Chains A and B, each alone.
Chain A
């Protein structure tokens, strides 16, 4: 293992390492407590959840999870969520990498101004655009469909365009020129050269988009009517008042953990992309 160093590159003494580790461990424990408590609750019996002082030692009721899956059509919610997430990820990747190629590698009058406006939209609170957007989607009959959730993803997103553009700017000109000599058009260059090269960005954008869309609540809440169309987050929000699950803390906890699991797993599998992605943003700003 590398020698322990602090922010300034100064080697840490044994005591300093110990102190830091202790502080960090305690902090980690504090930060994870809410999740751990929920996991614990999800494994208790109904009666144990109501005991005071709390029971710490008990036989885990793994069956609670099976019961939740039986009480509500989770598979159905999961399928809906998968459709929305897939649509948004594909749309975001295509549109953002496509547009970023223009911003990064091609020249046209007004390009930088357009890019500036695009970046400025990042600061626009979504509340401002909400009402008219909703009205339009409602009036064109997209209510109770996945379209309002997916279609906008095909029109780019400032932050991800920025990430792709940063990456494309770092690709040497020669790569492109060789292809031009072979007679390749811009679209082909983007598709068969730039896109394959940008795997690290694609991974980062995918992970961010996945977690963001998976967790999105407001959009599905206002656009989806029937329970058969619900995504997991909307379903989870309704369990509190649900006569099936709501009043029972162990069921509610189990449902919460089932709902939170996919984004946690994706995050754990793709941690390094998070750090990469944030670095791009952080260094630039």
Chain B
């Protein structure tokens, strides 16, 4: 982060100066200004994080006092068929949606990154699905997935194919959900687009001189130059995929049917916390999800040097 360096440098010069009353006053005000953010971090991030960790070792239904049960919630998790199923469903979902979204985002961004007629319209059109909220997205897709009169089966019907129950057939439900997820690739696309605009044109010119065609240019210039953007999209994509709630909730009336094949972790967490009021157990689930996110993110970070193109930074 180039900007952080600037800030760090000015902070360093500040330290060298003798601490005058003015500097002390400035520091005081600095804390005042930072106060909302600091309080926010303490009250809504760090505090609840610790609380939920402690809570995960208790049994608590919110009606009676919490009861310390040690690691029981975690051992129970390991043997809870619904949790294991939910975990498997969530990982499958993420494995499809995260790369799917990134691939679509990249390809469309490259196509859009040109001075073409009506380019503004196209950008908006591809981004539009992302501004529609999860509930409306679910409703919209339910119309398409309707087994009898939905668009998909109507089209298949033209070819004499009896389409499946997209959301009611266990073999299809999760894929239908994932397909919906990929539809929201607009956010990733926009970030790629911003990244593309930062690639120096000279690099492409150099590649052309070397005789690279359109496709090879992207392989040798675009993709390496976007590796940091890809990294950002990947991490955010993983975090996002582990938090999908509205779509399965609305499409299955909160059940995760058929046969729990759409029971994404947040949905299971919701049921445990708010239907069964097992707050301690829910906290344990949340921590396991968090741990998985951390491990995945750490893996991505560790793999960084392997694929992220590091530019000589500007300072």
Physical contact A–B (CB less than 8 Å): yes
Say yes or no: B208 contacts A8, CB within 8 Å. yes
Residue A196 is within 8 A (CB to CB) of chain B in the complex:
no
Say yes or no: A128 contacts B126, CB within 8 Å. no
A237-B114 contact, Cβ under 8 Å, with A7-B204, A49-B149, A111-B34: no
Say yes or no: A107 contacts B133, CB within 8 Å. no
Say yes or no: A127 contacts B132, CB within 8 Å. no
The stretch among A58-66, A69-77, A82-90, A153-161 that forms the contact with chain B is: A153-161
> Nearest-CB distance from B157 to chain A (Å)?
7
Of the candidates A7, A99, A102, A267, the one whose C-beta lies within 8 Å of that of B131 is: A267
Say yes or no: B194 contacts A131, CB within 8 Å. no
Say yes or no: B266 contacts A236, CB within 8 Å. no
CA of A1 to CA of B148, assembled, Å: 47
Q: Chain A interface: which size bin?
A: 35 or more
Chain B: which residue is nearest A106 at the CB level?
B30
Residue A197 is within 8 A (CB to CB) of chain B in the complex:
no
> Nearest-CB distance from A108 to chain B (Å)?
4
Say yes or no: A21 contacts B52, CB within 8 Å. no
Inter-chain contacts of A117 with B (CB < 8 A): 41, 46
Say yes or no: A21 contacts B116, CB within 8 Å. yes
Chain A: which residue is nearest B204 at the CB level?
A8
Say yes or no: B41 contacts A236, CB within 8 Å. no
Residue A20 is within 8 A (CB to CB) of chain B in the complex:
yes
Q: Please, what's the 1-or-0 string for B131-156, where 1 marks a CB less than 8 Å from any CB in chain A?
A: 11111100111111010110100100
CA of A193 to CA of B214, assembled, Å: 48
Inter-chain contacts of B132 with A (CB < 8 A): 35, 215, 260, 263-264
Say yes or no: B115 contacts A3, CB within 8 Å. yes
Residue B245 is within 8 A (CB to CB) of chain A in the complex:
yes
The stretch among B78-86, B93-101, B284-292 that forms the contact with chain A is: B284-292
Residue A114 is within 8 A (CB to CB) of chain B in the complex:
yes
> Nearest-CB distance from B240 to chain A (Å)?
9
Mostly, the B contact residues are helix
Inter-chain contacts of B197 with A (CB < 8 A): 279
Residue A12 is within 8 A (CB to CB) of chain B in the complex:
yes
Mostly, the A contact residues are helix
Residue B169 is within 8 A (CB to CB) of chain A in the complex:
no
Residue A51 is within 8 A (CB to CB) of chain B in the complex:
yes
A102-B217 contact, Cβ under 8 Å, with A50-B149, A260-B133, A281-B191: no
**Count of chain B residues with Cβ under 8 Å from any Cβ of A?**
127
Of the candidates A218, A264, A274, the one whose C-beta lies within 8 Å of that of B190 is: A274
Say yes or no: A107 contacts B10, CB within 8 Å. yes
Inter-chain contacts of A28 with B (CB < 8 A): 122, 125-126
Residue A9 is within 8 A (CB to CB) of chain B in the complex:
yes
Inter-chain contacts of A216 with B (CB < 8 A): 133
CA of A161 to CA of B37, assembled, Å: 8
Inter-chain contacts of B246 with A (CB < 8 A): 217-218, 233, 237
> Nearest-CB distance from B166 to chain A (Å)?
13
Q: Please, what's the 1-or-0 string for A212-241, where 1 marks a CB less than 8 Å from any CB in chain B?
A: 001111100110000000000110110111
Chain B: which residue is nearest A2 at the CB level?
B115
Say yes or no: A128 contacts B198, CB within 8 Å. no
CA of A21 to CA of B121, assembled, Å: 12
**4 nearest CB pairs, A to B:** A8-B204, A102-B33, A215-B133, A155-B40
Beyond known contacts A8-B217, A12-B114, A125-B239: 15 more, CB 8 A cutoff: A5-B114, A7-B110, A7-B196, A28-B122, A52-B148, A103-B34, A106-B30, A111-B34, A127-B285, A216-B133, A217-B246, A217-B249, A233-B134, A233-B136, A260-B140
